Chain A
Amino acid sequence: MADNKMLIKFFVASESIFFIMLILAYVNFKGTVVDGPTAESSLNPYVTGIFSLFLLASSFTIWLAGKSLRAKNHTMMKVWLLVTIVLGAIFIFGQGREWAGLIEQNITISRNVFGTTFFTLTGFHGFHVCVGLIMLSILLGLALFGDFKGPRSDGVEVISIYWHFVDGVWIVVYSVIYVWAFFL
């Protein structure tokens, strides 16, 4: 049945409107900060950039997992799923680190509009990554118990579409927050 994949595609389309709104809110307030921290004064584009690479890589590894499944290579699929989860977790760790650093300097969601929009946007994205990680872990768990013999599985394909989406959103978010502040 193609239904599941169609569902997730429309779902992702709907979700992208949600993120577009959060991004518009960020853009709307960019440059209006009168005092207090801004993206330029408080973020580090390089550290976050490196952690971003892990997330990007995970998009590649989940694609490999799907490919292994199509080739009926069950072992490799499990390995690639595991790698994907680890890469995603590293990204979340990086984000946690960044947040902790900011909060230590008393830059919080209630500090000013930069704090508000920054934490909301990255927070909702991080939340989506976490949901993805949970789903991936369930997939891996099922795979370890011998599910997904291939060559096709809606479960794997649907979750990988979602995961690519979460990745794509991050590229936009990173461009809007970091690239715009530091490289343009």
Chain B
Amino acid sequence: MSRRLPLVPENTEPLPSLKENQGMLAWVSSVDHKQIGLMYLMVTMVFFVVGGLEALLMRIQLSQPEFNFISPEVYNQLFTMHGTTMIFFVVMPFLIGVGVYLVPLMIGARDMAFPRLNALSFWLVVFGGILIYYSFLTQSGAPDMGWFAYSPLSEKPFSLNKGPTYWALGLLATGISSVASGLNNIVTILTMRTPGMTMRRIPLFVWMILVTSFLLIFVIPIIASAFAMMLLDRLLEATFFTPAHGGSAILWQHFFWGFGHPEVYILILPAFGIISEVIPVFSRKPIFGYEFVAGSTVAIGLLSLGVWAHHMFAVGLGDVTNLYFSLASMLIAIPTGVKVLNWVATMWGGKIIFATPMLFATAFIIEFVMGGITGVAIASVPIDWVVTDSYFIVAHFHYVLYGGSMFAIFAGVYYWFPKFTGRMMSETLGKWHFWLTIIGFNMTFFVQHFLGVMGMPRRIYTYQDFPYWGSMNLISTIGAVVLALSVLVFMWNVHVSRKRGKKAGNNPWDAWTLEWAAASPPAVHNFDLVPPVRGRRPLWDLAHPEQPDEPNAKVVD
């Protein structure tokens, strides 16, 4: 029972290159979860730049009242494509991609349960993205009805161009991809864990991916069916969402938000997972209340299915309905708050090391709480009636999506880059990136709260010269430029560190989860020998056999 634990052998042989010698073909034909994961990350980077440029164009147009930089038609296409891109082709595939890369490593598996399905998922995202962007080349341009594609705007009579058709088709392909990767993750996590890696020991990131995957397989079909109906409306003149022919525009809203609200949790739960990995390691303490973090996630996942109508307070569903949905929405804040408390309690009294991943993780907590507070505010019907469809909403969801999901994504990249490439990212550039992001992000979006309260509607291509509107919009635009700069710094950092960064070794952060027992980058087969797992922090147990996490754990070899 108490025999000496074998230490993980250091790698002596040169690592097999991921590329072998076939160049591109090796990537295109790959079914290796690490290669697919990296491809996800690269593709989302491209989409991030494209979506960012679209945003920059919009901000320039809004930088002063009655500006004539781009036309209203193009403006509409820009905000539609920006939202669609950022949600479906940046945050979602990024988080899925990191999951694909890390989940097998974290649970000590050789690969995903279904490697070829994994490749299919990835290529479907690429295909969907191309399909949607192809619409720019068609005669009348990209879709222009907003990312939630409200009917009847998205219907034939109001959108004669082909944009919405490409949009729905592309997202249908992406949706199939999401379901496939959700299924793959679930089976992988449930069946491929190394001995000893019980469900109560899997890293919290894996827990979050598991819950997200369940959300994916249960809510993507909702929107997939709505896309199918929309396509039938547009292509075969069915009448689902055309009120003029007996259809119902409100039905689309129910379908869309029935998917849409769980979707925002698909976008944030894996981000919670990243934060729950980073914070303990850089506070040098185990996570506080593992059970609560995991359990509250399940609660969030289930609750998120029943609150969608808070996006429809202004539709006129009736006071009682609004009231119930308002209360249910506020309930979600409870399990979310539990998580925040867990992170703060983990940091409390820890020996905090403010390396770049930790900087982003800490900032995540602050910015996300900001977004959460405005969220609870607009979950109250009277407040929502005042600010709905105004810039206040834009501020809310950018605080949760940029300040939340994107900050976590950056934290994750800085944290796992050494594992992905074998080299550290530059800390100096990282700090530049971080501070520019903080300044740019808050400058861009904080003022939008005020603009919204002052009545500036969202999705307008220009505005009159009301008092303060011009100056606040200018501040916001300057912030956006700073934010763009920060992304440039980040990309430069990735570029130089990949080739010239400091060699990382297997476990540069002295972290405790299994992925750090593999080589950096991991060998094609991941592990020569998976270390024994008898607690939540296998590498800690390995290094401190006298002080194991779970002193009474049974050995399963």
Contacts and interface: CB of A to CB of B under 8 A. Distances in A.
Direct A–B contact in the complex, CB atoms closer than 8 angstroms:
yes
B168 to A, nearest CB: 15
Contacts of B190: 6
A3 B238 contact: no
B31 to A, nearest CB: 16
A155 to B, nearest CB: 15
Contacts of A120: 228-229, 232, 238, 240
B225 A22 contact: yes
Interface string A11-39: 10111011001100100110011100000
A6 B191 CA distance: 9
Contact of B246 (A18, A21, A32): A32
Interface string B181-211: 0111011001100000000000000000000
Contacts of A22: 225
Nearest to A16: B221
Contact of A11 (B183, B236, B240, B247): B183
A13 B179 CA distance: 11
Interface residues of B, number: 33
Interface in A83-116: 109-110, 112-113, 115-116
B193 to A, nearest CB: 13
B238 A13 contact: no
A124 B227 CA distance: 13
Contacts of B114: 3, 7
A21 to B, nearest CB: 4
A116 B218 contact: no
Contact of B191 (A2, A17, A28, A113): A2
Interface string B217-251: 11111101110110010001111100001111001
Contact of A10 (B187, B226, B247): B187
B298 interface: no
Given A6-B190, A33-B246, A120-B229, A112 B221 contact: no
Nearest to A119: B238
Contacts of A124: 228
B103 to A, nearest CB: 15
Instruction: Give the secondary structure class of A's interface.
Output: helix
Contact of B221 (A15, A29, A109, A115): A15
B255 interface: yes
A17 B246 contact: no
Given A14-B217, A109-B232, A120-B229, A28 B187 contact: no
Contacts of B220: 14
Instruction: Give the secondary structure class of B's interface.
Output: helix
A109 B236 contact: yes
Nearest to B214: A10
B218 A13 contact: yes
A69 B73 CA distance: 63
Contacts of A32: 246
Contact of A109 (B186, B219, B237): B237
Interface in A131-178: none
Nearest to A13: B217
Contacts of A28: 248, 251
B221 A21 contact: yes
B171 interface: no
B113 interface: yes
Contact of A110 (B221, B225, B226, B237): B237
A35 to B, nearest CB: 9
A7 B240 CA distance: 32
B304 to A, nearest CB: 15
B49 to A, nearest CB: 32
A171 B225 CA distance: 20
Interface in A15-72: 15, 17-18, 21-22, 25, 28-29, 32-34
A17 B248 contact: no
B221 A17 contact: yes
Nearest to B180: A11
- In the complex, which of the residues B114, B184, B191, B225 has the most CB atoms of chain A within 10 Å of its own CB atom? B225
Contacts of A15: 221
B309 to A, nearest CB: 15
B217 A3 contact: no
A7 B225 CA distance: 21
Contacts of A3: 113-114, 187, 191
B118 to A, nearest CB: 12
- In the complex, which of the residues A2, A33, A116 has the most CB atoms of chain B within 10 Å of its own CB atom? A116
Given A3-B191, A28-B248, A18 B236 contact: no
B229 A17 contact: no
Contacts of B229: 25, 120
- In the complex, which of the residues A7, A11, A15 has the most CB atoms of chain B within 10 Å of its own CB atom? A7
Given A13-B217, A17-B221, A29-B248, A116 B186 contact: no
A115 B229 CA distance: 13
A1 to B, nearest CB: 8
Contacts of B221: 14-15, 17-18, 21
Contacts of A117: 240
Contacts of A33: 246
A183 B4 CA distance: 73
Contacts of B247: 29, 113, 116
Interface of A: 2-3, 6-7, 10-11, 13-15, 17-18, 21-22, 25, 28-29, 32-34, 109-110, 112-113, 115-117, 119-120, 124
Interface of B: 113-114, 179, 182-184, 186-187, 190-191, 217-222, 224-226, 228-229, 232, 236-240, 245-248, 251, 255
Given A14-B220, A112-B246, 7 more contacts: A3-B113, A14-B218, A21-B226, A110-B237, A112-B239, A113-B240, A120-B229
Nearest first, the 8 A-B pairs at minimum CB distance are A110-B237, A21-B225, A18-B221, A17-B221, A14-B217, A116-B238, A113-B246, A116-B239
8 contacts: A3-B113, A10-B186, A17-B218, A17-B222, A25-B225, A116-B240, A119-B238, A120-B240
